[in-house]
Amino acid sequence: MNYIKIRLDDDFDRIGARIERTLEDIFRPLPVNPMFACRNCGWNPPMDMVETDDEIVIVAEIAGVEKEGLEVRINSKAVRIFGRRREAPKGPNGKYRLAEIQYGSFERVLYLPCPVDTENIVSAYRNGMLKLTMTKLRLHRTHKIPIMDG
């Protein structure tokens, strides 16, 4: 069985750099043709986050990313998914006539709506879709505590 690397992290902060990069992404004009886009600027794969009563499920569409080039880091508040999609060779005499697929590295940090149990996470990667299923922590459970004599 193959595994996806998941590392537990308490430090997702480098917020200043991320905010700066996000602002650049927002205000950077889109190129006329994607083949003129900056190859080192990265790309943002689409993701879904679904919350049920008991769990949070994240699905990331990252077709073309090899599992060995994919990493997930998680703490009880956020999930960081990052990796790299390598450009397919176009052949010795190939010329682009259309270039819409984005290549290079990507990074997404998703803040969770509630704390999750970092010891109880299921991950799967199939057909270019990464699925993370996380169990919510029950913080407001009531526990009966026995009272001892003395």
Residue 124 Ramachandran class (φ > 0 left, ψ -120 to 50 alpha, else beta): beta
Map out the domains of the chain with their CATH numbers: 5-87+97-136 (2.60.40.790)
pLDDT above 90: residue 81? yes
Distance CA 55, CA 114 (A): 10
Q: Which residue has the higher pLDDT, 34 or 96?
A: 96
What's the pLDDT tens digit per position in 29-45? 454 444 444 445 578 99
- Quick one: pLDDT at residue 149? 85
Residue 90 has what pLDDT? 80
135-to-57, 107, 112 alpha-carbon distances in Å = 9, 23, 12
Greater confidence (94 vs 22) lies with 94
pLDDT (mean) for 120-125: 94
Q: Across the chain, what does the average pLDDT equal?
A: 81
pLDDT value at residue 111: 95
Burial label, 9 (beta-carbon count in 10 A; 0-12, 13-18, 19+): middle
Each residue's pLDDT tens digit, 2-24: 666 666 655 555 555 566 566 66
pLDDT at 139: 74
pLDDT at 122 over 90: yes
